[in-house]
A and B are shown apart, each in its own frame.
Chain A
Amino acid sequence: MKEQLKNNKTKMEVLHEISFTLNEKKVSCKIKASTVLLDLIRDFFELKGTKPGCNEGECGACTVLVNGAPVNSCLFLAVNANGKNITTIEGLTNSDGSLHPVQESLVQHGAVQCGFCTSGMAMSIKALMNQYENSQHVPGEIRSEFPTRDEIKKYLEGNLCRCTGYVKIVDAAEKLFAKED
């Protein structure tokens, strides 16, 4: 990616300067309009935890949070990250290397096998937690305080996993909400 940027400069291609928050740090960079967030994260910022599973928005392995909501970073144009708050799996992990409760729950429930879907899965579960945490502050909204098992399953439909059969992943997510409650 860095090489590419050099090449692009010599060709006088138009580059866009963007600034955003990446894992609680302010960053800025110059990118082509066509660069997707996944490539920016993996190749420019060298955060390899976000995984490229299909590059067409089908598998969810590349899920990151944009302002707390989950997106397939392979389809998200990086220029749209300007001014936003991006969180990747590296940002979910505590700064001292200890695990976030989502990660801890996935490990303890045996929800990790090959692990290639795990980053995206963890970010989606975090997004679901965000949704429920935020929703508590919406007055008058009719909604339970934590999602049912079927709601969790539905929410994770966009994240494919070939190893686990999802049971332990859903267990891990369900337990998180039970604990919170």
Chain B
Amino acid sequence: MQQKNYSQKKINRMKKELKVIGKPIPKQDANIRVTGKAIYGHDIVLPGMLYGAILRTEHPSAIIESIDVSEAKKFPGVICVITADDVDVNNIGYKRDHPILKKGEANCTRDEIAAVAAETKEIALQALKLIKVKYKIRKGVYDAFDALKESAPQINKFISGKFENKNIAEKFHYEHGNLEEEKKKSQHIVTRRFTLPRMTHACMATSNITASYNNVDRKLLLYSSTQVPFLYQRDMAHALKMNPSDIRVIQPVIGGGFGSKLDMHPFEPICALLSIKTGKPVQIIYSREEEFIASPIRQPMVIDLTAGVDKHGNFTFREINIVKDNGAYTSWGATTPFVIMQAFSSLYKLKACRFNAMAVYTNNVFAGSFRGYGNPQATFALERVIDLLADELGMDKAEIRLLNANEKGEVTGQGLLYDTCGHKECLETVISKSHYGKKSLANKDSRHKRGIGLASMLHVGGGAKIYRSDGCGTTLKIDPYGYCTIITGSNEIGQGSETVLAMIASEELGIDLKKIKVINTDTDVKPWDVGVHASRTSFVAGNSLLGAIKILKEKLNRKTAELLKTSHPDFEYSENKIISLKSNESIALDKVVREMHFSQPNELAIASYFYEPSSKFQDKDFKGNVSGTYAFASQAITVEVDTYTGNVKVLDVYVAQDVGKVLNPLLLGGQIEGGILQGVGYALTEELLMHEGRILNPNFHNYKMLTASDTPEIHFYPIETNDKEGPYGAKGVGEAPLIPTAAAIANAVCNALDLEFLELPITPEKVLFAIAEKKRTDKMHSL
């Protein structure tokens, strides 16, 4: 009996052995990209296509007294010129506070005044110069705190006074626990103000759209690089006063997303309007300068954080007040406090939290969403303060983190349920691998100072229920030749979702990867999905596909049982065959499909499934289990600071991340490394500089994106916690790698120099200034 049990277990284990999942399989769509055959938005040419260009305001804050387009209209090759007066449209943005074309006043350097469609791009750009606009320049408001003053003018006129101040666009309040009580219990309390910069996505492909309106059947076809095609379709329909189903969104290959394509931006409905007016296809492609000026950014914000710790080192409370510079219009970026408050309320065990955040209108450029969705900002402030609390206590910085680390089974004050939690293991891993506290970080000489910093992060790992559904649909088909087509609601924006889905189908159906096709670019074809955000695609689309596979297998099993004349329902799918586990007889998968199609009762080898994660809506107090699961990560980073030049060199990044389960180590590594380098940029070099509403560095020369030479040594340790909700146990991974990077680097630089930095990026100027300042105060103390 025991013997039998043992062998049964062995069989079960063998059955569970994964053949495809967990293998370093290259991206299935890499070949077309590496040969230049992939068609991006920039490569689309349609018959009779016109080229669109947009005239933006000359002044960030001005009254528009008149717009004269008569000369532009007369210019040879110009087909159409539009201003706000020529179109009947609705405002866009989630607050509907953003006119597509501006009328009467300009409030931001991006403001679209007029648009031209012409036979060539050169003619369109020439024509813009012939448009005469009379401005009456106003004094703008370029600081969120100034905008909150009584004397400040109302910047956005489209939002009704929902809040106590006319320039507040959005507010969030959250709290748990007894804050006053916990304050009393605290041995040490630290208060700091942190200032976070504007960072831009700088996708390698600039923003682009090709719109083709068919004025015979009155349907609009859009080739768009949106990362949320179904929300986009609905937003576009609202903007243009059309029926959403008359708008078909096709996504060409997308040259980078990172959150920039979550909002619909004015240039997109403008392009559609030019196509509607002319009856011809129209294409708008941003120049790199336009991309820097007119594409979204990571929210700049000021975070006031007060946090306490008891005498044993347990975190007691956190009190947070955040003022975000919303810019002139509201985008999804205004909702980042959803995520920011999770970091503050639920990263490390915490007894009490009070959180207030507001987004304030200014005449600056408006922010959008960016990988991490507010979390890198929050984590920077929080992890910096944890170091300071440890210093106050005289406690080791690793020890205080381990003591307070989140645990499996924990329900946080905000109601997040950690069914699986690798936080402690992540911390222990990076502490041991980096030889934290053991390896003496010997300085090379008195000029070069070395330091090490720690930081962790918490992020949603199983989608985020912020829309009515966080679901994804799949239709799965096997054809009579044994090829499989996955029609998924999810999108590929370079992250590798197509490959992961193909791997899942290959694993479960025993079909060669080469015989699996993924269809995911057409709203007329694919089932509904929210879109690429919240690190959700592998989790949600993977589960959706697994659901469809289960249904399809039931159909295939029935036919196979009939063909093999067996009543035993246990089959294995392997090497394009279906094998009876009882008799070991097998039949080719394509033959089963043909028999399904061509013999009674004649059915298709097709199945559809809609997956909705188990997560819940948060209540009005922002409490509830908002994600299917949660991802954790820790990073230990070593730096070397050149005290003569102020340059910070990142040496080693030790990163441990709770990924649930590694689905593909090659793709996972790519997400980790890419995320970390974006985090290094956020920490040290990247800032979109603004002066009175204008962007000062709209090019790669002056906006310092990192190069191959700036890449540190990255040591990655995946932590597998096998979450029961995830496909094969996997959690979302995309955003997590960059979230703690800037925080860990800041802690390392502070450690190296025995100094404090409260602002990002930590540029050489700031380093030199801080060193000089310290020398000055040290001297004063010694006097």
Contacts and interface: CB of A to CB of B under 8 A. Distances in A.
Contacts of A4: 120, 122
B31 interface: yes
Instruction: Give the size category of B's interface with A.
Output: 35 or more
Contact of B675 (A54, A58, A165): A165
A113 B494 contact: yes
Contacts of B122: 4
Contact of B670 (A55, A97, A122, A164): A164
A114 B495 CA distance: 7
Given A56-B699, A115-B255, A110 B705 contact: no
Binding site of A, secondary structure by majority: helix, strand, loop or mixed?
Answer: loop
Given A49-B37, A167-B711, A168-B673, A107 B204 contact: no
Contacts of A170: 708, 711
A49 B38 CA distance: 8
Interface in A1-24: 3-4, 7
Nearest to B292: A54
B647 to A, nearest CB: 16
Interface in B675-702: 675-678, 699-701
Given A115-B494, A116-B255, A154-B709, A163 B670 contact: yes
B40 interface: yes
A89 to B, nearest CB: 4
A112 B26 CA distance: 9
A165 B673 contact: yes
A61 interface: yes
Interface in A90-110: 90, 92-93, 97, 99, 103, 106-110
A163 B677 CA distance: 9
Contact of B667 (A110, A116, A160, A167): A110
A30 interface: no
Contacts of B714: 165, 167
B120 to A, nearest CB: 6
Nearest to B492: A114
B36 A106 contact: no
B494 A163 contact: yes
A115 B676 contact: no
Interface in A110-157: 110, 112-119, 122, 150, 152-154, 156-157
A56 B287 CA distance: 10
Contacts of B493: 114
B236 to A, nearest CB: 23
Interface size range on A against B = 35 or more
B31 A107 contact: yes
A48 interface: yes
A58 B701 contact: yes
A128 B24 CA distance: 27
Contacts of B253: 114-115
A166 interface: yes
B707 interface: yes
Nearest to B714: A167
B42 interface: yes
A160 B675 contact: no
Interface string B278-293: 0000000001100000
Given A119-B36, A163-B494, A165-B714, A99 B31 contact: yes
A162 B288 contact: no
Given A4-B120, A157-B709, A53 B204 contact: yes
A89 B288 contact: no
A179 to B, nearest CB: 17
B403 interface: no
Interface in B492-543: 493-496
Interface in B23-43: 24, 26-27, 30-31, 33-40, 42-43
Given A153-B711, A165-B674, A165-B677, A47 B36 contact: yes
Contacts of A110: 24, 26-27, 30, 666-667, 669-670
Given A4-B120, A49-B36, A49-B37, A114 B670 contact: no
B328 to A, nearest CB: 26
Contact of B204 (A116, A150, A166): A116
B119 interface: yes
A16 B488 CA distance: 51
A161 to B, nearest CB: 7
Nearest to A93: B35
B268 to A, nearest CB: 19
A169 interface: yes
B11 to A, nearest CB: 34
Contacts of B677: 165-166
A89 B31 CA distance: 12
A79 B206 CA distance: 27
B202 interface: yes
Interface in A68-92: 88-90, 92
Interface centre among A116, A118, A169 (most CB of B within 10 A): A116
Contacts of B43: 48
B27 A107 contact: yes
A90 B36 CA distance: 7
Contacts of B34: 99, 103, 106-107, 112, 115, 118-119, 122
Contacts of B204: 51, 53, 59, 61, 114, 116-117, 160-163
Contacts of B31: 99, 103, 107
Interface in B117-169: 119-120, 122
A152 B253 CA distance: 28
A95 B287 CA distance: 33
B709 A56 contact: no
A109 B667 CA distance: 10
A157 B707 contact: yes
A16 B489 CA distance: 50
Interface in B619-677: 666-667, 669-670, 672-677
Max chain B CB contacts within 10 Å: which of A54, A56, A90, A163?
A163
Contacts of B206: 53
B390 interface: no
A12 to B, nearest CB: 15
Contacts of B35: 49, 89-90, 92-93, 97, 99, 103
A164 B26 contact: no
Contact of A162 (B39, B119, B202): B202
A115 B38 contact: yes
Nearest to B494: A114
Interface string B246-260: 000000011111100
B33 A165 contact: no
A161 B39 CA distance: 18
Interface string B197-219: 00001111110000000000000
A167 B36 CA distance: 21
6 contacts: A112-B34, A114-B205, A114-B494, A162-B201, A162-B256, A168-B666
Interface of B: 24, 26-27, 30-31, 33-40, 42-43, 77, 119-120, 122, 201-206, 253-258, 287-288, 493-496, 666-667, 669-670, 672-678, 699-701, 705, 707-709, 711, 714
Given A61-B204, A163-B204, A166-B673, 18 more contacts: A48-B43, A53-B205, A106-B34, A110-B30, A110-B666, A113-B494, A114-B255, A114-B256, A115-B34, A115-B38, A115-B253, A117-B204, A119-B36, A157-B707, A163-B256, A165-B674, A165-B675, A168-B673
Interface of A: 3-4, 7, 47-56, 58-59, 61, 88-90, 92-93, 97, 99, 103, 106-110, 112-119, 122, 150, 152-154, 156-170
6 interchain residue pairs of minimum CB distance: A49-B36, A115-B33, A114-B494, A116-B255, A165-B673, A165-B677
